[in-house]
């Protein structure tokens, strides 16, 4: 039996050696290079049964190579590695037909399993969703941590499908940003993205908010009103905190998911709907099912593609990049963004961030008020604000302002 030949391109010699050793021990033949043009030459000569290439190399871009390789040999599986860990990189790789995308640092066992699966599969087409159009990277999702790279990889797979997605995570971990990314990078991107928080709406108004109402349906309904389902038609409806939806509304939601139509409150006419549903929750829905608070059949309808966000404290590599973005967002003058002192950075990295990104944003807004001399020091980073300490913090704010005014 002829052993498959894997072609590897990466300008990092250590990565090439690690991959070669792993594949050789697993029964594959490997050939590697630090030049993208060498890789392309091998492909033109008919060499290779599978390719693993980096994105950024000295003489070429792996995404450009991907396009050229598929022009020469359309059925050759190409897997992309990248240290340029953004959602755009993952989705660009997907859009150009990559079989798989691996963010660096990667898991060797995972790569080996994907490679083995590719040879066991009769269909060597990409397992990532393919779309001919590339998307702009304009989303406020920031993260270079391993955890966020996995989120990007999963998003790249599901973004072009209409599967319902359930995002789990604590408050402030960016669940709505992920839902918006699913919309903005999808074929539905030109249609509406409508978000509604189940926890923020009185229970008796949820059905009229979701499905709209006819004039005279109830006291105060003096005109027809479209609901979120109708407003989001052909787009994406994001149901945040789905665990707070009353059981009665859950029943109607299930019917819409099954039938693709609904009636407004007080109405008789069936309204067709074509929306992608994305939900989010911080609750334990399995326990709520056991307690009779959430419908099991609805849960399985919504949880087709689960996705989890992680607490900020577990993503330490993301804290400073997110902080930088928040400084730019909230600075009074974007041409004079203050610097973070070493002690300030240490304090940010050592805090547990129970409120996640939302808490970090509050801390940065306070720091921008307190800082002086275009530098944010550790004393400007005020965390753990609670009622007992708030009066002390007020005095700190007052003293800082007085110092700044006297200096001016």
**DSSP result, 94-110:** HHTT-SEEEESS--HHH
| Closest residue by Cα to residue 126 from 155, 97, 104 | 97
Residue 132 token pair: 């001919």
Mean pLDDT of 385-402: 49
In the chain, CATH 1.10.8.60 sits at 312-407
pLDDT score, position 293: 95
Q: Is the peptide bond before 376 cis (omega within 30 degrees of 0)?
A: no
Half-sphere exposure of 221 (CA within 13 A, CB side): 18
Domain 5-120 has CATH 3.40.50.2300: yes
pLDDT score, position 408: 42
Half-sphere exposure of 75 (CA within 13 A, CB side): 7
Residue 210 token pair: 């979701």
Mean pLDDT of 330-340: 78
Q: pLDDT tens digits, residue range 162-174? A: 999 999 999 888 8
pLDDT score, position 1: 56
Strand partners, 277: 237
Mean pLDDT of 284-308: 95
pLDDT score, position 140: 52
Q: Average model confidence (pLDDT) for the chain?
A: 84
Instruction: Report residue 29 CA to chain centroid gap.
Output: 36
Output the CA–CA distances (angstroms, integers) from residue 291 to 182, 242, 253, 262, 403, in the order listed: 31, 16, 20, 28, 57
For domain 161-308, the CATH architecture is 3-Layer(aba) Sandwich (3.40)
What are the residues whose beta carbons fall under 8 Å from the beta carbon of 65, sequence distance 6 or more?
9, 36, 39, 40, 53, 78
Residue 352 token pair: 């547990």
Instruction: Read off the pTM.
Output: 0.64
Contact 78, 53 (CB under 8 A): yes
pLDDT band at 105 (very low <50, low <70, confident <90, very high): confident
pLDDT score, position 41: 93
What are the residues whose beta carbons fall under 8 Å from the beta carbon of 346, sequence distance 6 or more?
378
Res 278 pLDDT > 50: yes
Res 402 pLDDT > 60: no
Res 139 pLDDT > 80: no
Res 232 pLDDT > 70: yes
Class at the top of the CATH hierarchy for domain 312-407: mainly alpha
The Cα angle at residue 59 between residues 57 and 61, in degrees rounded to 5: 55
pLDDT score, position 385: 60
pLDDT score, position 338: 85
Mean pLDDT of 285-313: 94
Q: pLDDT tens digits, residue range 184-213? A: 888 999 999 999 999 999 988 999 999 999
What are the residues whose beta carbons fall under 8 Å from the beta carbon of 297, sequence distance 6 or more?
254
pLDDT score, position 391: 45
Q: pLDDT tens digits, residue range 340-388? A: 888 999 999 999 999 999 999 999 999 998 888 788 999 999 987 654 5
pLDDT score, position 83: 78
pLDDT score, position 300: 95
Q: pLDDT tens digits, residue range 7-27? A: 999 989 999 999 999 999 999
pLDDT score, position 138: 43
In the chain, CATH 3.40.50.300 sits at 161-308
Which residue would you say has higher pLDDT here, 117 or 285?
A: 285
Lowest mean pLDDT of 38-42, 90-94, 334-338, 387-391, name the range.
387-391
In the chain, CATH 3.40.50.2300 sits at 5-120
């Amino acid at each position: 039996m002829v052993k498959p030949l894997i072609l590897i391109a990466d300008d990092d010699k250590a990565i090439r050696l690690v991959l070669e050793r792993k594949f050789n021990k697993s029964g594959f033949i490997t050939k590697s290079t630090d030049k993208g043009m060498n890789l392309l030459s091998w492909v033109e000569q008919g060499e290779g049964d599978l390719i693993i290439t980096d994105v950024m190399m000295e003489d070429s871009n792996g995404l450009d190579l991907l396009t050229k390789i598929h022009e020469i040999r359309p059925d050759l599986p190409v897997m992309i590695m990248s240290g340029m860990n953004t959602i755009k990189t993952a989705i660009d790789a997907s859009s150009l037909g990559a079989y798989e995308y691996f963010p660096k640092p990667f898991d060797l066992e995972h790569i080996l399993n994907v490679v083995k699966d590719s040879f066991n599969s009769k269909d060597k087409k990409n397992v990532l969703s393919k779309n001919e159009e590339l998307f702009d990277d304009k989303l406020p999702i920031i993260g270079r941590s391993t955890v966020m790279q996995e989120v990007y990889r999963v998003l790249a797979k599901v973004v072009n499908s209409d599967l319902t997605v359930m995002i789990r995570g604590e408050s402030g971990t960016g669940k709505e940003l992920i839902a918006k990314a699913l919309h903005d990078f999808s074929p539905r991107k030109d249609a509406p993205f409508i978000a509604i928080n189940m926890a923020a709406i009185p229970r008796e108004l949820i059905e009229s908010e979701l499905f709209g109402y006819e004039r005279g349906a109830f006291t105060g309904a003096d005109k027809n009103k479209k609901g979120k389902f109708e407003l989001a038609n052909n787009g994406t409806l994001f149901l945040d905190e789905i665990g707070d939806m009353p059981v009665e509304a859950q029943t109607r939601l299930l019917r819409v998911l099954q039938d693709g139509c609904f009636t407004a409150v007080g109405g008789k006419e069936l309204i067709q709907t074509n929306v992608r549903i994305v939900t989010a929750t911080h609750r334990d829905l399995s326990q709520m099912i056991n307690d009779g608070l959430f419908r099991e059949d609805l849960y399985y309808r919504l949880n087709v593609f689960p996705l989890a966000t992680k607490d900020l404290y577990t993503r330490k590599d993301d804290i400073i990049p997110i902080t930088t973005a928040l400084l730019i967002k909230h600075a009074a003058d974007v041409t004079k963004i203050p610097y973070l002192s070493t002690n300030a950075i240490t304090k940010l990295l050592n805090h547990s961030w129970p409120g996640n990104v939302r808490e970090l944003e509050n801390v940065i807004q306070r720091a921008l008020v307190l800082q002086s001399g275009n530098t944010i020091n550790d004393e400007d980073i005020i965390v753990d604000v609670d009622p007992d300490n708030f009066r002390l913090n007020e005095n700190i704010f007052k003293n800082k302002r007085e110092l700044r005014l006297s200096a001016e």
